[in-house]
Amino acid sequence: MIAEVYPNIFKNEIVLPRNPLKAINSYIITSENRNLIIDTGFNTATCQAQLMSGLEELTIALNKTDLFITHMHTDHSGLAPILKKHGVQAIYFSQLDGDLFNNISRKGNFVQTIQTHNKIYNLTSNNPFGKDFGDVQIEPLEFIPLSEGNEIVIGDYCFEVVDIPGHSPGHIGLYERKHRLFFCGDHILDEITPNISFWGFGQDILATYLNSLQKVYEYEINYLFTGHRKVLREHRKRIIELFDHHEKRLKEVLTILKDSAKTVGEVAPHMHWDIGNLRWDDFPNSQKWFASGEALSHLEHLFHTGLVGRSDRNGMFFYGII
């Protein structure tokens, strides 16, 4: 469904069937000489049909169009190879997320990543995502890497690239200073909280995310164009809510650890999750995966800030209050 959300800026809401995110907002910025698509939807026939329908409704010429990917998650990047085959010109990614997209999306690497995380999370599903999360590519995707301070000019708009890592290690956004517009991908969402997952023991990804939130808090923004749900007008109010959410999460995890050291597989089922009234055992495998990753990012933050200890017992990681 196409809607003009600002002059020459259109939101193409692409439904994600059987997915709790419900839909993704793909944006299309038009001008006489050049167009820009921001994010795509999964690499599925359903998402592709909706994406292409919106582009056709706006009579977008793909040979005069570039693609900007906010981050490597497949609901945002999955159709990039398809758009390239249909004539899209430059594809922009951050270097980090573009490399992750190319590495993880190859079938062998994808399976290896799943198996590694399953062991850490104490999950058993071979593929927690299934076909609803789109097919993976085989060929590497050629992209142009962007980073903080790079600019993309479309018509009267001059967009500045902003590094906002956290939801993914190389998440980037676009800021239009004159009009006070910010395309933030999944960095900030209304109604739901962005998943902050585990990306390796060498980094405190939650701290990275919180720092990126504080960074965007300082920007003057009239319209925050999000990757899912509603366009936001009061970004600072929402950022304060997200800070509060993660503070409560951290306190919740400390409470769960108060009696004994536990693995992430023992912590995650006892945390509060807004997935209807389902018990942990009834969660879809994909939601167990995301919940476990978020639980571990909070455990790692507590470890990096010195509030809990971490021990490796034959490949199982235990966290306990010091």
User: What's the CATH code of the domain at 252?
Assistant: 3.60.15.10
| pLDDT at 114 (0 to 100) | 78
Each residue's pLDDT tens digit, 10-66: 999 999 988 889 999 999 999 999 999 999 999 999 999 999 999 999 999 999 999
Spell out where the chain has E strands: 2-6, 9-15, 23-29, 35-38, 65-68, 91-94, 144-146, 151-154, 157-163, 172-176, 181-185, 223-226, 308-313, 316-321
Q: Structural domain of residue 144, as residue ranges?
A: 2-259
Does the pLDDT value for residue 136 go beyond 90? no
Position 17 in a domain: yes
Q: What is the phi/psi pair of residue 43, to 5°?
A: -85, 70
Cα(164)–Cα(183) distance, integer angstroms: 11
Position 109 in a domain: yes
Q: What is the mean pLDDT of residues 224-238?
A: 97
* pTM of the predicted model as reported, rounded to 2 decimal places: 0.94
Average pLDDT, the chain: 93
| pLDDT at 113 (0 to 100) | 78
Position 65 in a domain: yes
Q: Which residue has the higher pLDDT, 277 or 306?
A: 306
Position 311 in a domain: no
Position 271 in a domain: no
Angle at 167 between CA 217 and CA 4, to 5 degrees: 70
Cα(317)–Cα(308) distance, integer angstroms: 12
For residue 107, the one-letter residue type is K
Q: Which two tokens stand for residue 127?
A: 């593929």
Total domains, the chain: 1
Position 288 in a domain: no
Position 49 in a domain: yes
Find out whether 44 and 74 touch, Cβ atoms under 8 Å. no
Each residue's pLDDT tens digit, 147-201: 999 999 999 999 999 999 999 999 999 999 999 999 999 999 998 999 999 999 9
H-only helix segments in 136-284: 205-217, 235-256, 264-267
Position 142 in a domain: yes
Least confident residue range of 114-123, 152-161, 164-173, 207-216: 114-123
